[in-house]
């Protein structure tokens, strides 16, 4: 009888572990995986099918994006790490349905020259319940391009290196669950995330009592927030909590920034800047009306400012024009720690 009870108990535990490993993680669960000092989080809600070629989209002769192209281009925002080759990961997941994508990041640093700011972070991709990723097959196929392989918290990780402008980016790719893939820029960040996936407890990143959560719609197509951290701000050229630098506008009263896109339904984006600075209007307008050579165009940038709460300035931006999307993303990236040096 004792042996029978033990067998039943062991079987129950194994079944529970198997169920936990294959269940569909929620946003709240994914947030619980991120390291406590995560400063920025970006999210894209599905379902949507990954296709890098579709993200460029087709513009109508009048310079407007089709709804489908607008959706895919917006969803690319949290998926920046898929622009790297990553051993062919983009092709490996092409055509597969994503239910949720979340990128956490921290410790933003300037590039050596031009290009994207360097940072520590990880993109977590949760696929639909019908998707089962063959991680072992990816590792075999990536053997010729990977610099090496690591073991991190029970997950096999392929390590890749790629040159971007003057910087060498290192990315870490793994499949901790059959329906979850991760791409990280830092092994310590990834190790903490994988530990937490396995049940190791710790302080939640960006806790739910932060004011920013009141001003971001996490059910939107694409959304994100950054809570500015004082620790390490002197090393971060995008932080407003230090003096003038290449990717910031100084603001000692800055708290954070949030955004959400709902282009399919309204073709609108909402950006909230949390600061008690009397100069907040100029700061937000300057960032959101930035332009680079690719987005400069005579088309009017349609933006309306309002104040939904004390210490919060909100911008509503019309995304009908192709030019408006590029200009908005260029400015938002700087505010969120992902500035591009041009």
Q: pLDDT tens for residues 188-214?
A: 999 999 999 999 999 999 999 999 999
Domain ranges of the chain: 25-197, 211-341
For residue 51, is pLDDT > 80? no
Reported as a single tens digit per residue, the pLDDT across 325-337 is 778 888 999 999 9
The string of pLDDT tens digits covering residues 279-311 is: 999 999 999 876 544 444 444 568 899 999 999
Residue 338: is its pLDDT beyond 50?
Answer: yes
Residue ranges with strand state E in the chain: 40-49, 97-109, 115-116, 118-127, 148-152, 155-164, 167-177, 180-184, 222-227, 254-261, 268-275, 303-309, 312-318, 340-341
Distance of alpha carbon 39 from alpha carbon 9, whole angstroms: 41
Q: How far apart are the first and last CA of the chain?
A: 72
Q: Where do we find the tokens 């004390």?
A: 310
């Amino acid at each position: 009888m004792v042996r029978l009870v033990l067998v039943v108990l062991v079987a129950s535990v194994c079944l529970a572990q198997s169920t936990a490993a294959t269940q569909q993680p929620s946003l709240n669960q994914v947030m619980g995986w991120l390291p406590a000092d995560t400063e920025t989080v970006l999210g894209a809600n599905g379902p949507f099918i990954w296709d890098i070629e579709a993200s460029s989209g087709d513009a109508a002769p009048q310079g407007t994006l089709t709804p489908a192209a607008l959706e895919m281009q917006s969803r690319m925002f949290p998926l920046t790490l898929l622009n790297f080759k990553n051993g062919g990961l983009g092709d490996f997941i092409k055509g597969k349905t994503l239910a949720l994508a979340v990128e956490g990041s921290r410790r933003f640093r300037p590039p050596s020259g031009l290009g994207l700011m360097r940072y520590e972070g990880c993109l977590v991709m949760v696929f639909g319940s019908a998707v089962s990723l063959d991680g072992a097959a990816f590792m075999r196929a990536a053997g010729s391009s990977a610099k090496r392989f690591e073991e991190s918290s029970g997950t096999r990780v392929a390590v890749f290196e790629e040159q971007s402008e003057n910087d060498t980016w290192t990315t870490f790719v793994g499949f901790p669950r059959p329906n979850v893939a991760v791409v990280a820029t830092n092994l310590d960040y990834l190790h903490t995330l994988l530990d937490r996936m396995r049940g190791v407890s710790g302080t939640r990143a960006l806790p739910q009592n932060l004011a920013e959560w009141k001003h971001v719609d996490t059910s939107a197509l694409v959304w994100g927030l950054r809570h500015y951290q004082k620790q390490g701000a002197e090393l971060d050229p995008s932080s407003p909590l230090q003096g003038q630098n290449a990717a910031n506008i100084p603001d000692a009263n800055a708290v954070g920034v949030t955004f959400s896109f709902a282009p399919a339904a309204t073709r609108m984006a909402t950006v909230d800047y949390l600061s008690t600075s009397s100069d907040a209007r100029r700061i937000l307008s300057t960032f959101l009306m930035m332009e680079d050579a690719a987005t400069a165009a005579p088309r009017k940038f349609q933006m309306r400012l309002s104040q939904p709460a004390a210490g919060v300035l909100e911008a509503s931006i019309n995304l009908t024009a192709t030019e408006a999307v590029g200009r908005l993303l260029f400015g938002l990236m700087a505010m969120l720690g992902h500035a591009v040096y041009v």
